[in-house]
């Protein structure tokens, strides 16, 4: 169990799913008519998109959206949400996305679903990024969850060696058929493990992002706005 979260321990995968659906639904209720919305990626964001689709079908709500992955693009398109070309806009009103971990300073690790690069681009042009998590994702210290790093395929073994030579433990993300995992951008992911959590996320961000070949890290700083926390009993809290 994560440090300091005894009161939040979840029992079953169903509990987790209830929490994710509750928080996804609560976030969908925040979307207002005319907004340009960033759609996150992952199982929690999936519930948000599902409930947003329901709202657009059952009310007069009219929105446009940009998605952070091919998966979310597909879900939105199938659900009839109008999608705009990212190259035709300069900002979004709101983005709703999940996270793998978030601490009390609202620093996050994202990219468990492999969409970190698009997620960061879209979060960075959003007036507000609303983060939706189940209660197990709130941590005292980042780094229980491996940190994903997106790297270009060129010289990928060299890039991994350089990361390891700096003292990090990591390896390439693989698919279930043992192929190198490819992001929507045609890049690879290295997942970095912190044996004793991450002691200084900002320093690690500077070190890792300065390695040639690294496109982006899964650290998200100064991006989270409201953080909604879903609980297994279906209630949703706002992180103070």
40 vs 170, beta carbon nearer ligand 5RP: 40
Are 34 and 62 within 8 A, CB to CB?
A: yes
Nearer to ligand 5RP, 111 or 213 (CB): 111
Catalytic pick among 119, 135, 136, 150: 119
- Please state the closest distance from residue 229 (CB atom) to ligand 5RP, in A: 13
Q: DSSP letter at 40?
A: -
Kindly give the interhelix angle for 70-78 and 43-58, rounded to the nearest 10 degrees: 20
Helix orientation angle between 43-58 and 13-28, rounded to the nearest 10 degrees: 40
Query: Is 119 part of the annotated catalytic residue set?
Result: yes
CB of 220 to ligand 5RP, least distance (A): 9
Q: Is 60 exposed, middle or buried (0-12, 13-18, 19+ CB in 10 A)?
A: exposed
List of residues contacting ligand 5RP (CB under 6 A): 40-45, 97-100, 110-116, 119
Report the nearest approach of ligand 5RP to the CB of residue 122 (Å): 11
Calpha distance 195→191 (Å, rounded): 13
Pairing of strands 236-238, 224-230: antiparallel
Among candidates 67, 62, 89, which has minimal Cα distance to 78?
Answer: 67
Q: Which is nearer to ligand 5RP, 21 or 100 (CB)?
A: 100
Tokens of 229: 């926390």
Q: Which is nearer to ligand 5RP, 58 or 148 (CB)?
A: 148
CB atoms within 10 A of CB 109: 28
- Which is nearer to ligand 5RP, 57 or 174 (by Cβ)? 174
Distance, in Å, from the CA atom of 35 to the CA atom of 216, rounded to the nearest integer, reads: 28
Q: Which helix (H) or strand (E) holds 22?
A: helix 13-28
Provide, rounded to whole angstroms, the least separation between the CB of residue 46 and ligand 5RP: 7
Supply the minimum distance, in Å, between the C-beta of residue 181 and ligand 5RP: 12
Active site residues: 119
């Amino acid at each position: 169990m994560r440090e300091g979260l005894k009161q939040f321990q979840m029992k079953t995968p169903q509990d987790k799913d209830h929490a994710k659906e509750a928080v996804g639904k609560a976030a969908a209720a925040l979307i207002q008519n005319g907004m340009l919305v960033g759609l996150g990626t992952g199982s929690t964001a999936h519930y948000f998109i599902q409930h947003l689709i329901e709202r657009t079908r059952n009310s007069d709500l009219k929105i446009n959206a940009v998605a952070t992955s091919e998966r979310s693009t597909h879900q939105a398109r199938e659900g009839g949400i109008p999608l705009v070309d990212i190259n035709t806009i300069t900002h979004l009103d709101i983005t709703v996305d999940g996270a793998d971990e978030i601490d009390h300073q609202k620093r996050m690790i994202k990219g468990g679903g492999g969409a970190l690069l698009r997620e960061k681009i879209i979060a960075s042009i959003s007036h507000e990024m609303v983060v939706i998590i189940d209660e197990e994702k709130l941590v005292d210290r980042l780094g229980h969850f491996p940190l994903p790093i997106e790297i270009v395929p060129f010289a990928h073994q060299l890039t991994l060696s350089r990361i390891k030579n700096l003292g990090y433990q990591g390896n390439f993300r693989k698919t279930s058929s043992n192929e190198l995992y490819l992001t929507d951008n045609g890049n690879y992911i290295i997942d970095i493990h912190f044996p004793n959590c991450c002691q200084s996320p900002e320093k690690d961000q500077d070190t890792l992002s300065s390695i040639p070949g690294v496109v982006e890290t899964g650290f998200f700083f100064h991006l989270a706005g409201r953080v909604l926390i879903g609980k297994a009993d279906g209630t949703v809290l706002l992180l103070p």
